[in-house]
Structure 1
Amino acid sequence: MRRLVSFSGAVLAAYLALAAAAFWTAWRAPTGRWVGYGFDPILFIWSLRWLPFALAHGHDPFTSNYLNYPDGFNLMWNTSILFPAFVLSPITLLFGTVFSYNVLSTVALALSGWCAYFAFRRYARREAAAVGGLLYGFSSFMFGQAFNHPHLTIALFPPLVLLLLDEILVRQRGRVVIAGALLGVATGLQVLTGEELAAATALVAVLGVALLALLHRAELRSRLPYAARALALAAVVAVGIAAYPLSVQFTGPNRVSGPIQPTGFHVLDALEFVVPTHRQEVTFHSANHLGAKFTGQSEIDGYVGIPLLFLVAFVVARWRRDRLVRFAALLGAIVVLLSLGPRLHVAGHTFGAVRLPWVIPQRFPVLENILPARLALFLFLLLGLLLAVFVDRIRLPRLGLVAILAAVFVPLVPNLPYPSTASASPPFFESGAHELGDGSVTLVAPFAGVSGGTTRPMLWQEAADLRFRMPEGYVINRSSPFDPSSRNSTLFRRMARIQNGESVEPLTNSERSEMRCTLARLGVRTVIVGPMQVGGREMDRLFRDLLGDYATSIGGVGLWSDALVAARHGAGGCA
């Protein structure tokens, strides 16, 4: 037992070291740079700060109007990673949110692989299980999502479900209460970590259970009583943990209906499994050119590589009569079909006449918000299991086995150095923005939202310890996914044009009056123009026109501190 614990600890340490090495560009300055790039990391950084802030100030952690004021938004409809934010709160408060985000990004890969290692230990020796866990935790999917989606790389839940369902449905050796309670706790906490992954895991689990029942019909009756009791208990425990958050989501303010993302876009191309794109270290020009044609470029996660495909084909052919191998291969094939989406895509071309199985789940509530491409995570879990079986059962000289594993893993190495992003905010915000009243409403330009092309103001707000509210934000709300509710106002449309580098004509009197009314309606007390890549002078000119030449230059920003008074005075009568 002591040797097993020692080996398991060594596996975790190795996974952590590998993840830290992969993300070394961020760890060289862990409070000043974060892992990855793009819009989304700032949303998660903001969420890591929101939870301890809300708990300390008596706010509801599941809803907030600190973004998208006054309407606010429902955190349960956003990828708010509430449970990880709670666990990481001490690190966030002691070392800062960016440091906490880097810890999350790094530990996510290591712990996901470690959970897969424990799941695979049921079917293979510890060394083989460690190899399988390595594939799962450091797959193309994981490195592809680590750019900006930690709610997907915190992927402990799928291997834990595999482990617990194996106990509940197959082995049935432990106490039913323990197995059921553990599954319920894992499910409830996953809902508070990432609902898309919870729903996707439930979908794949249901398909896996159905497949298992089909393959072993003769054993159903004898195993049903234990399984039914355990699953019923799991449901009760999961509901006990997640009932209130889900009630806020589906009956509370700013609830959302319908698919959030466009259907049929974020899918895997049929060639994606074998074509190395720019995200891989080992690639070539023609492959990159072909990969650029794949739909849903932000979700290119399915690269498996030809060596791994050949190895899996060998495992399936060599041990095709083995029940475990047969189950993993068939479920993997089902997952591949689902990940292709509702229509077949080949080299970026859509074959509309070829309807695929995803047309069924995309019609159901909740399931409609699963992006099919992200089911690749479950493919790598099953591939990791088959790889563990291979390493466990094959009899080869050690050097030969190492060569085979190198051929499998080298194509999966991500393009290095892995990107990271500087987190610097203007000194005004980093010093606490004390000129602003606590909880006051501040419009920050450039405004945060997808139409504005940036999320930086959310980072500045977090740097100021959430001292103020903003009528903007890259969040999902009832009015608009990833944009402020006021995005269609004359003011926000003009700001978006300026932020995106467009030339704008002079304001008319009616436009000027309408913009001032928008500021008054939103209760904006302060306007801040911060650093902008393009349009900074034009943005400053806009607010001088609206509010007068009373801006204060302080800490790298321009500040209008009496915006509400100026807006009301200049607006005249507002409807």
Structure 2
Amino acid sequence: MDIRTSDSAVSAGSGAVDLTVVVPAYNEERRLRPTLDAIRDHLRANPERWGTWELIVVDDGSSDRTAAVAADAAADEPRIQVVTGGGNRGKGHALRQGVLASHGRRVLLTDADLATPIEELELLDRQLSEQSEQSEQSEQSEQSEQSEQSERSWRSWRSERSGGESGGGGAAIGSRAHPDASIEVRQLAVREWLGRLGNQLIQRVAVAGIADTQCGFKLLDGEQARAAFADSRLDGWGIDVEILRFFRRSGWPVTEVPVRWAHQPGSKVRPLDYGRVLLELVRLRTRGGRTRTVVSAGARTNLAVAGLFLLASFLLYKNLWADLDGAYLADAGSDQNQWQWFFAVTADNVVHLRNPLFTTVQNFPDGVNLMANTVMLGLSVPLAPVTLFLGPSVTWAVVLTFGLAATAYAWYWLFARQLVDNRRAAALGGALAAFAPPMISHANAHPNFLVLFMIPVIIDRALRLCDPENDKVVRDGLLLGLFATYQIFLGEEPLLLAVMGTLLFALSYAWVRRDLARAVVRPLLRGVGLALLVCLPLVAFPLGWQFFGPQSYHSVLHGDNAGNSPLAFVEYAGRSLFGDDATADPLAMNRTEQNAFYGWPLIALAVGIVVWLWRLAVVRALAFTAAGAALLSLGQRIRIPGTDVVLPGPWRILAHQPLFESVIESRVAMICAPALGALIALAVARLPAGIGSVSGSVFGAGTGAGTGTESADRRRHRTVALLAVGAALLPIVPTPIPVRERLEIPRFFTAKMYSGYVAKGESVVPVPLPSPGDAEALHWQAETGFGFSVPGGYFNGPYGDDRTGIYGAPPRHTSNLLRDVRYNGQVPEIGANWRAQARADLAFWRAGVLVLVPQPNDGALYATVEKLLERPGKRVGGVWIWDLPPRKG
């Protein structure tokens, strides 16, 4: 540690400093000097009030000119010191350096952004004085005599210097969470919400009763502060909690004081830093080196795993979180607009007590069967308050980020409970099951295939029913029914795929272990029967509405070439670390359907694990499950790469069966993700026991346990094996999902100008109509409160007399015409027949106004509509409109 100070600075241990201000700084080149000047000017302005003082700036290994800025300030003011300590170690390390270098009878900790103004020091100082006075009065009541020297306490010293005002011990925290605090500039609503959630978790785990542990404006008794920081261990954000815990254990008072606070641009604190605080707290040690029992060892591991999964998920979506209102996932197509519309329309239906299974605000006037679409009522309903108060873009980010992390944790929990005892191995398997390339492909646009946290829970309950000694079959069967019911309201197709994967595993395991299969048949059938008795009555009406209600359909057409190419399994996905779009795109339907792409190293590793652990029945069952799912995912016709040979695929048996006829067969390969995760977990869990104990292992033959040389060989083999696992997984590590800038909503909609042109029972007709290829109109609706309906849209609905499922509304002549002009830019010849057809279509849509927003080929679209309606448009609110006369009748 390097401390630079002027000759006039107070020497250590002199005891002549009334107040020390400690400012930790990391890459604060722009904000630091104004902060230092403000603190200096405030303390200089009232020397009688603040007495002698020092200001310590701790540079935490900044890569910019932070240290130079601090040094310049020190050159201008002798009482400013600069402490440097090498590389970037974290805020906790910086605070520890600053406090241990301090000499003040009181120590103020403040962040470099000065979000709490230095003037608020007065409030904290007064509170500390009151605490000290109360403490001293208590001590005096217990002691009859004190010497004159012992009576010279903090309070009496402060009284001499500031006209009778008392000084104090303990800690006073500047709190922005206090009911009387004044928030002058607020953070984004989602940051506040996540911050409050994080602080509540911290309170439950470590420091109860303190609402704002992380606010960076604290005044501490100097001797107590130096004792607490000398005892501290954490280098990160968690040090605030560690210090407050020390004060609490020592019996020193800690009080929150309401202060003024303003969010500062460029803040180093992020909402997920509260998660990092929790992870740091589980590593706290006592002086004797024993682990402090904040939570149990298993709970600490679970918390750490959950935190890592949440951090990984947040990093995956960091570009989305950086601009929730303006960021759009680059590969989402129209799906992000569709999903945010689903969340918003569900919240709107809930708050207005409408039927959550149907709406006419899209595809007007026919409407949309919401149960027949993937609205995820299991999340969109409970998250309706988030959608209503923070907006559908926040709900979208929350569902993706927390849903992915929850799914990874659920797989980890299942593997740790049912498969392996090694929790690190279970965590690695869970990470692969949730973050595998097919899952990340759907992370671009399909939360129903990403948020699968109920699937492991359902599998666990089914496995419990397979325990011959289970005496709680009734309970487990009832819970299985409730869990399956909830999953139906999260996603039916993922549940169907999970059932397929579970059947593949169960059949293969039963073939290998016929003795066990015979023993579990009765309790399993009994439990499943009870589950059906619970589930079917609960879902009867919603499923009846889905399959037989208004706008229902019986299947969805995906074409005959929706299967995977065999090459897809050995290539890398576009969002994998070693992948690229040029290689992946030709092998998939689109970037949200890269349903294989596990990469050849992982496939090779999986084969090696199966050979190595073939003696285990579970390994053979997992191998059959993965291989069977991969084969089914190739579709009805399997083209052999590099040849003209086309073979019939086993999917032909299922392709036209009820339920399966709507499944995109390439998605069956997603079953391989948890199967491969389980194989990895099994393999890694056995490495600490010595891989050499397995004769003929692909990781290296061993000689068994015994001598020290053998032990060293095993360690080398284990290291090589772990490196092989890492080498297989590294290429498919997902990269952050890219975003693009979202299109701005025209003022015509944000200012609700449409209300003057649309009567009750009429619709706004965008030009061209919204469709699966361009669903921006759904964004307008979701963000402006569904004040208008639109024809067309992006949803699944019926087409024709046989009610075959299609994407979007059944096309009409005018909608086709406008779509063609939008994409080819050519204005067609418009005659009487086209005008008559337009009048008929507009009447069907009950059009109140046509709206043309700025877009490619909008000139050709304007000319086409002008010819169809035989009159020019009017410019209103940044768009062209054609107001239509009220409908008769």
* TM-score for both structures, normalised by structure 2: 0.60
2:280 is the alignment partner of 1:280: no
| Residue in 2 that maps onto 1:11 | 305
| Residue in 2 that maps onto 1:207 | 504
| Residue in 2 that maps onto 1:65 | 360
2:650 is the alignment partner of 1:357: yes
1:342 deviates by 1.5
| Residue in 1 that maps onto 2:751 | 431
Are 1:168 and 1:179, in contact at CA under 8 Å, matched by a contact in 2?
A: yes
SS at match of 2:728: helix
| Residue in 2 that maps onto 1:457 | 777
SS at match of 2:381: helix
Write out per-residue CA displacement over residues 263-283 of structure 1, whole angstroms, 9 at most, x where no aligned residue: x32221111111224343314
1:531 deviates by 2.3
Q: After superposition, where does 1:134-533 map in structure 2 within 5 Å?
A: 134-170=431-467, 173=470, 175-262=472-559, 264-283=560-579, 291-298=584-591, 299-347=593-641, 351-352=645-646, 354-395=647-688, 396=715, 400=720, 403-416=723-736, 418-420=738-740, 422=742, 424-433=744-753, 434-435=755-756, 436-437=758-759, 440-450=762-772, 453-479=773-799, 481-485=806-810, 487-489=811-813, 491-532=814-855
1:247 deviates by 0.5
Write out per-residue CA displacement over residues 516-555 of structure 1, whole angstroms, 9 at most, x where no aligned residue: 22212321112211222x2212222333334465644333
1:384 deviates by 0.3
Are 1:140 and 1:302, in contact at CA under 8 Å, matched by a contact in 2?
A: yes
| Residue in 1 that maps onto 2:316 | 22
| In structure 1, C-alpha distance between the alignment counterparts of 2:319 and 2:479, rounded to whole Å | 37
SS at match of 1:106: helix
| In structure 2, C-alpha distance between the alignment counterparts of 1:439 and 1:22, rounded to whole Å | 43
- Alpha-carbon spacing, 1:446–1:174, altered in 2? closer, same or farther (3 Å): farther
How large is the Cα RMSD of the aligned pairs? 2.4
The match for 2:382 among 73, 87, 93 is 87
SS at match of 1:344: strand
| Residue in 2 that maps onto 1:573 | none
| In structure 2, C-alpha distance between the alignment counterparts of 1:166 and 1:350, rounded to whole Å | 44
Are 1:140 and 1:414, in contact at CA under 8 Å, matched by a contact in 2?
A: yes
Stretch moving more, 265-274 or 425-434 = 425-434
- Alpha-carbon spacing, 1:297–1:303, altered in 2? closer, same or farther (3 Å): same
Are 2:830 and 2:868, in contact at CA under 8 Å, matched by a contact in 1?
A: no
1:357 deviates by 1.5
1:81 deviates by 1.6
Give the letter for the 1:363 counterpart: H
The higher relative CO (CA closer than 8 Å, separation ≥ 6) is in: 1
Structure with the greater alpha carbon radius of gyration: 2
| In structure 2, C-alpha distance between the alignment counterparts of 1:181 and 1:85, rounded to whole Å | 25
Are 2:360 and 2:366, in contact at CA under 8 Å, matched by a contact in 1?
A: yes
- Structure with more of its chain in helix, by fraction: 1
2:830 is the alignment partner of 1:537: no
1:184 deviates by 1.3
Give the letter for the 2:684 counterpart: V
1:438 deviates by 6.2
1:369 deviates by 1.2
SS at match of 2:851: strand
SS at match of 1:260: coil
| In structure 1, C-alpha distance between the alignment counterparts of 2:761 and 2:750, rounded to whole Å | 17
* Count, aligned residues: 557
| In structure 2, C-alpha distance between the alignment counterparts of 1:343 and 1:190, rounded to whole Å | 31
| In structure 1, C-alpha distance between the alignment counterparts of 2:644 and 2:678, rounded to whole Å | 32
| In structure 1, C-alpha distance between the alignment counterparts of 2:367 and 2:457, rounded to whole Å | 35
| In structure 2, C-alpha distance between the alignment counterparts of 1:72 and 1:348, rounded to whole Å | 47
Give the letter for the 1:362 counterpart: A
Write out per-residue CA displacement over residues 342-390 of structure 1, whole angstroms, 9 at most, x where no aligned residue: 22134487743x1121111112111111112112221010000010011
Are 1:279 and 1:415, in contact at CA under 8 Å, matched by a contact in 2?
A: yes
SS at match of 1:147: coil
Stretch moving more, 148-157 or 135-144 = 148-157
Are 1:475 and 1:482, in contact at CA under 8 Å, matched by a contact in 2?
A: yes
| Residue in 2 that maps onto 1:78 | 373
**Structure 1 spans left out of the alignment, 5+ residues:** 570-575
- Alpha-carbon spacing, 1:514–1:232, altered in 2? closer, same or farther (3 Å): same
| Residue in 2 that maps onto 1:106 | 401
1:58 deviates by 3.1
| In structure 2, C-alpha distance between the alignment counterparts of 1:346 and 1:211, rounded to whole Å | 27
Write out per-residue CA displacement over residues 241-295 of structure 1, whole angstroms, 9 at most, x where no aligned residue: 3211101012211221234322x322211111112243433147xxx65544325
Query: Identity across aligned pairs (percent)?
Result: 24
| In structure 1, C-alpha distance between the alignment counterparts of 2:336 and 2:880, rounded to whole Å | 26
Give the letter for the 1:148 counterpart: A
Are 1:437 and 1:468, in contact at CA under 8 Å, matched by a contact in 2?
A: no
Write out per-residue CA displacement over residues 61-116 of structure 1, whole angstroms, 9 at most, x where no aligned residue: 11222111111121222222222211221211121101111111112221111110
Write out per-residue CA displacement over residues 165-214 of structure 1, whole angstroms, 9 at most, x where no aligned residue: 22112465362233212221221122112221122222222333322332
Are 1:34 and 1:98, in contact at CA under 8 Å, matched by a contact in 2?
A: no
| Residue in 1 that maps onto 2:87 | none
Instruction: List structure 1 runs of 4+ shifted beyond 6 angstroms.
Output: none
Give the letter for the 1:105 counterpart: L
| Residue in 1 that maps onto 2:136 | none
1:478 deviates by 1.1
Write out per-residue CA displacement over residues 448-492 of structure 1, whole angstroms, 9 at most, x where no aligned residue: 114xx311111112122111111111111112622323x232x11
SS at match of 2:791: coil
Give the letter for the 2:787 counterpart: R
Are 2:827 and 2:861, in contact at CA under 8 Å, matched by a contact in 1?
A: no
The match for 2:411 among 90, 94, 116 is 116
Are 1:192 and 1:242, in contact at CA under 8 Å, matched by a contact in 2?
A: no
SS at match of 1:558: strand
- Alpha-carbon spacing, 1:260–1:186, altered in 2? closer, same or farther (3 Å): farther
| In structure 2, C-alpha distance between the alignment counterparts of 1:252 and 1:449, rounded to whole Å | 23
- Alpha-carbon spacing, 1:260–1:245, altered in 2? closer, same or farther (3 Å): farther
1:118 deviates by 0.8
- Alpha-carbon spacing, 1:238–1:349, altered in 2? closer, same or farther (3 Å): farther
Are 1:344 and 1:350, in contact at CA under 8 Å, matched by a contact in 2?
A: no
1:29 deviates by 0.6
Are 1:200 and 1:370, in contact at CA under 8 Å, matched by a contact in 2?
A: no
SS at match of 1:181: helix
* TM-score for both structures, normalised by structure 1: 0.91
Write out per-residue CA displacement over residues 123-152 of structure 1, whole angstroms, 9 at most, x where no aligned residue: 111111001011111110111111111111
Are 2:350 and 2:381, in contact at CA under 8 Å, matched by a contact in 1?
A: no
| In structure 2, C-alpha distance between the alignment counterparts of 1:257 and 1:142, rounded to whole Å | 27
Give the letter for the 1:455 counterpart: A
| In structure 2, C-alpha distance between the alignment counterparts of 1:530 and 1:158, rounded to whole Å | 43
